[in-house]
Structures are given as structure tokens and as C-alpha cells.
Amino acid sequence: MLEIAGLNKTRGQGGDAFSIQLPSLQLAQGQTLAIAGLSGTGKSTLLEMIGLVLAPHRVERFQFTPSNSASSIDIAQLIRDSRQDQLAQIRARHIGFVLQTGGLLPFLTVAQNLLLPRQLNGLPPKSALLAELSDALGVTELMARKPRELSVGQRQRVAFVRALSHEPSLLLADEPTAALDPYHGQRLFEKMLDVVGRHQVSAIVVTHNEALIEQFGLPVLRGDHLTGAAGSGAVFG
């Protein structure tokens, strides 16, 4: 479903340079992978590169196969050719994001936030998956509210449902349980893994929660610090 090799991003110059390197990654359809490491290792930056939000400085291979397609997309070539229009289309249709901040539009209700990705992709408003997730995570009763009327935990649960509302092939979540209490954090994690397994959505999750990684037996990419005369960085592997 996802195959990446030789992904690199460097910020700064000389001794202040910091590089983020991903030698290789393979993610199967329906699989969940965790990204872990100390603060400052570039976990969120790595997630943004995988999610086609941030362009790498170098990438050898980046093949992406949507779950509803038999053929793969050469993302690396699109990046080299600066095909931002195609990359934006792939990101909007096939990738769902859960941001640390929630990222909900403040002037829309919860229901409008959830329906917007479907509208932008020309999908019908009714969805069995959307209804299922809303009920399971206690979002259904929040539909008429706006983000400012929600608690931090409620906003994060809504953000998770919104990330899957357009039924993407790949879910990318940046610390999705950080704002939740242990009970709701575990419930969100369990629901995420359940959706990944049953609907064949692949997922990459940045998390500091080692207990959840261990509890669910997730494969992990860990960022290890490197230092040298040319600067510092992190290699994920």
C-alpha cells in the first residue's frame, strides 16, 4: 500500500542543520504503524512528508496504492516534477489527518466539519462509517455545537471522526490521544485499530504513549538522534 525509501529533509545550514531521514518504510493495507521518539526528533515533520504536506529534499522511492485501486501512484516522480496539483488531489481524497490541535474550522458546526471532506470529494452526505464512528466516540450528540463549545477531548474525538469521514486509504494521526484522559485515549486507539482492520485503512500514528504501543503490539519506527560536524538529525527505523 505504501513503500518509501531514501526520504530526507534538512532544515538549517552548517552546524545548525537538522536532518530527518527515513531509510525505508513499508506499510500494508489495513496495517497500523507507530512513530515514536524523543521530542525534537522530527516525528511530526516526518508525518507531514508522508502525508504530502511538506516536500522532502530527497526521495528515492515513494509508491502509494489507494485501497480502491489496483495500480500504484509514483509519488516520488510527482514530487520531482513539482506536480502540486496532483499531490493536493491525492492528499484530499486518499489521506486523512488527525492533528494535535484538532484543526476543526471554528465557524462550522461539528456536523458541518464532518461533512466538509465528503462534500469536497463529491461524496454523498450519508455514510455508514461516519455514523458508526460518531456513535462509538460520543460525537453524535455534539453535531449542533461549534468547536469553541467543546472540551479539548471532545474536539480531538471529532477530529478523528472527521479524518475518516471521506473514507481515505491512509490515516495519519499526530498524538491523537494526547488531549484525552486514559479511558477515552484507549477507547479512541481501540476504535482506530478496529476501523483499520475492518475497513482496510492503513494508519501511521505519532505517539509518546509507549503503553498503548506495547498493549496493541504495534510495529514502531523510532527516531534516533545523530550528531556530527555537519549538524544533527534523526534517523527513523
Number of domains in the chain: 1
Residue range 12-52, pLDDT digits in tens: 877 778 899 999 999 999 999 999 988 888 999 999 999 99
Is residue 98 within 8 Å of residue 171, measured between CB atoms?
yes
Query: What is the CA angle 1-172-39, rounded to 5?
Result: 125
108, three cell numbers: 462550522
Which residues are bridge partners to 100 per DSSP? Answer: none
What angle do the packed helices 128-136 and 182-199 form, to 10 degrees? 160
CB 186 within 8 A of CB 153: no
Q: How far apart are CA 97 and CA 212, in angstroms?
A: 20
SS3 assignment, position 123: coil
* pLDDT at 230 > cutoff 70: no
Are the CB atoms for 87 and 54 separated by under 8 Å?
no
Domain encompassing residue 142: 2-236
Per-residue pLDDT at 176 exceeds 90: no
Residue 83 backbone class (left: φ over 0; alpha: ψ -120 to 50; beta: rest): beta
pLDDT in tens, 48-62: 999 999 999 999 999
Residue-wise pLDDT tens digits, 120-162: 999 999 999 999 999 988 999 999 999 999 998 899 889 999 9
State the cell numbers at 166: 471521506
User: Which CATH number do you get for residue 50?
Assistant: 3.40.50.300
Examine the pLDDT at 90 and tell me if it is beyond 90: yes
3-state secondary structure of 125: coil
Distances (CA, A) of 171 to 29, 49, 68, 213, 224: 11, 14, 15, 17, 24
Share of the chain above pLDDT 90, in %: 67
Q: What is the pLDDT confidence band of residue 220, given thresholds at 50, 70 and 90?
A: very high
